């Protein structure tokens, strides 16, 4: 009798311990909210020096967290950065060096489902996963986000759509829920906010990965009250009929900021702030003539800093100290960082090109100096500490960004030893990438 009682107590204690451990494990797994703006340049929002556009919510996110001054997108255009972000590899490895265009042959290609995405790894580890907004990694059904680890997708497949009618630039309706198009009503930025909030509310009791891929401030120029203008079988312009483009552009960013404020408020109201990492980045620099790249040279599509140095914010109150970091970081770093944050092991044999940023985020440790590379349309560039090598069809340039962020003073002729050393490293990386056939350029 006594032995049975002791056994019962023992079994109960073990059960309690197991339940406790499961509880701990669950509690330990944080939520990840990854917000990506589209074509937002380095000087595009208040906390990066923009005085014309009001972004109080992003400014608050930055002042409560860590703001990067040397954060980069892996691509100078949309699709490559998105491929690099989700795979944690240089986009060349998945053949996504260029953009998937709405018209022409690239419409048939996409991110191969053989690629391992961060979403898949999180899903396999018990995460609920959602993407709301822009995909731009393939039109065919087989490339849909639901085949890349996302439980839920509401958004569009193209590079851009009419913010009100949801037609892409080829006049094809492009507003999906998972695999099928759906009718909808409202301004795209507001819809992305609405579906993101719904996802958070639905999954508040589970660890979740929410990827909010905004259209703003990508063209067409359309504010909330501007009319829709793209319809099938009609001629329309790419940029849209709005005359005051500066007004519309400003509004596009401010409405995105407003939505981000609502999302952060939802996280707070549900008591999830202490267990949620929020990341904010852009997929490439601002468009020439409209986007704001601050003092940087170049713009979207170029490998000058204006093409890929973008805003980057990481916020997690109580976990990430407030501050500004000048450490070099880029899109491919988010895959290993998220794995570390969520205490998930890297899948065996998976090659990741980025660096885990968590020692910087949580302990303020400086990142080790490393080489990072870019390649787009015949231009190649690399960073080694503050030194930047850039080769284009016209020139070979070497800049020290710590003194010359505007890339005005070419040191190539005066620093031949360093130039040759870096050229060799860049050449070797290029040879490595040449092993992968590119589906788009
Ligand atoms: Ca973009």
Q: What is the Å distance from ligand 1's center to 268 Cα? A: 29
Q: What is the Å distance from ligand 1's center to 175 Cα? A: 18
Average the pLDDT over 24-28 and give the result.
53
The answer to whether the beta carbons of residues 124 and 102 sit under 8 Å apart is no
Task: Tokens for 161, please give them.
Answer: 């759509």
The answer to whether the beta carbons of residues 264 and 21 sit under 8 Å apart is no
Selected catalytic residue, list 72, 136, 148, 164: 136
Q: How confident is the model at residue 219 (pLDDT cuts 50, 70, 90)?
A: very high
Q: Could you list which residues have their CB under 5 Å from ion ligand 1?
A: 38-39, 78, 283-284
Placement of tokens 């190539």 in the chain: 412
- Give the model's pLDDT for residue 8: 56
CATH of domain 29-369: 3.40.720.10
- Give the model's pLDDT for residue 16: 56
Integer CA distances (angstroms), 372 to 240, 325, 327, 369, in order: 37, 18, 13, 10
Give the DSSP H or E segment for 78.
helix 78-87
Task: Tokens for 385, please give them.
Answer: 């500490």
Average the pLDDT over 50-75 and give the result.
98
Kindly report the pTM of this predicted structure: 0.94
Mean pLDDT of the residues in the chain: 95
Q: Is the bond leading into 220 cis (omega within 30 degrees of zero)?
A: yes
**By three-state DSSP, how is residue 347 classified?**
coil
Question: pLDDT for 335-391, tens place per residue?
Answer: 999 999 999 999 999 999 999 999 999 999 999 999 999 999 999 999 999 999 999
Selected catalytic residue, list 47, 72, 78, 308: 78
Question: pLDDT for 309-327, tens place per residue?
Answer: 999 999 999 999 999 999 9
Q: What is the Å distance from ligand 1's center to 125 Cα? A: 30
Average the pLDDT over 170-188 and give the result.
98
Q: In whole angstroms, what separates CA 429 from the centre of its chain?
A: 23
Q: How confident is the model at residue 25 (pLDDT cuts 50, 70, 90)?
A: very low
CATH of domain 373-433: 3.30.1120.10
Ordered by start, the domain boundaries in the chain are 29-369, 373-433
Q: Nearest to residue 129, comparing CAs of 204, 207, 193, 208?
A: 208
Q: Give me the half-sphere count of Cα atoms (radius 13 Å) on the Cβ side of residue 199.
A: 28
pLDDT of 231 over the 90 cut: yes
Q: Nearest to residue 296, comparing CAs of 304, 372, 376?
A: 304
Q: What 8-state DSSP symbol labels residue 166?
A: -
The answer to whether domain 29-369 and domain 373-433 are alike in fold is no
78 is catalytic: yes
Average the pLDDT over 15-30 and give the result.
58
How would DSSP label each residue in 374-412?
A: EEETTEEEEEETTEEEEE-SS-EEEEETTT-TT-----T
Q: Nearest to residue 96, comparing CAs of 40, 56, 143?
A: 143
Q: What is the Å distance from ligand 1's center to 242 Cα? A: 21
- Give the model's pLDDT for residue 290: 87
136 is catalytic: yes
Average the pLDDT over 277-306 and give the result.
97
What is the rounded CA–CA span in Å between residue 37 and residue 214? Answer: 5
Beta strands in 14-151 (DSSP E): 31-37, 66-68, 71-72, 128-134
């Amino acid at each position: 009798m006594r032995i049975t009682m002791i056994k019962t107590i023992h079994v109960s204690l073990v059960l309690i311990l197991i339940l406790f451990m499961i509880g701990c494990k669950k509690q330990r797994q944080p939520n990840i909210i990854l917000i990506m703006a589209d074509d937002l340049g380095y000087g595009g929002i208040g906390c990066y020096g923009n005085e014309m556009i009001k972004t109080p919510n992003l400014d608050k996110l930055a002042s409560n967290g860590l703001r990067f001054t040397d954060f980069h997108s892996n691509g100078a255009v949309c699709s490559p950065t998105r491929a690099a972000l989700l795979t944690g590899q240089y986009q060349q490895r998945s053949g996504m060096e260029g953009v998937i265009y709405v018209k022409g042959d690239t419409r048939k290609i996409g991110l191969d489902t053989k690629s391992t995405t961060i979403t898949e790894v999180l899903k396999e580890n018990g995460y609920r996963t959602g993407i709301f907004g822009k995909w731009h990694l393939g039109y065919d059904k087989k490339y849909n986000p639901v085949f890349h680890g996302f439980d839920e997708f509401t958004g569009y497949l193209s590079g851009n759509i009419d913010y009100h009618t949801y037609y892409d630039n080829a006049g094809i309706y492009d507003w999906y829920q998972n695999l099928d198009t759906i009718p909808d009503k409202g301004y795209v930025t507001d819809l992305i906010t609405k579906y993101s909030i719904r996802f958070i509310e639905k999954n508040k009791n589970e660890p979740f990965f929410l990827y909010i891929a905004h259209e703003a401030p990508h063209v067409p120029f359309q504010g909330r009250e501007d009319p829709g203008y793209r319809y099938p079988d009609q001629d329309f312009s790419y940029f849209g009929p709005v005359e005051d483009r500066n007004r519309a552009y400003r509004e596009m960013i401010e409405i995105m900021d407003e939505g981000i404020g609502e999302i952060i408020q939802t996280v707070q109201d549900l008591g999830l702030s202490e267990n949620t990492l929020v990341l904010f980045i852009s997929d490439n620099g601002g468009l020439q003539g409209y986007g704001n790249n601050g003092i940087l040279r170049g713009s979207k599509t170029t490998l000058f800093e204006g093409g890929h140095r973008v805003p980057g914010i990481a916020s997690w109150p109580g976990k990430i100290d407030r501050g500004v970091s000048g450490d070099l970081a880029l899109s491919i770093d988010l895959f290993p960082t998220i794995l570390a944050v969520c205490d998930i092991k890297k899948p065996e044999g998976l090659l990741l090109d980025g660096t885990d940023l968590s020692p910087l985020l949580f302990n303020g440790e400086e990142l080790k100096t490393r080489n990072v590379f870019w390649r787009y349309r015949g231009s190649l560039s690399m960073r080694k500490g503050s030194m930047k090598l850039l080769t284009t069809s016209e020139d070979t340039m070497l800049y020290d960004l710590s003194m010359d962020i505007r890339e005005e003073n070419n040191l190539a002729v005066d620093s031949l030893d360093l130039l040759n050393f870096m050229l060799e490293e860049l050449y070797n990386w290029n040879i490595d990438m040449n092993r992968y056939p590119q589906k788009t350029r």
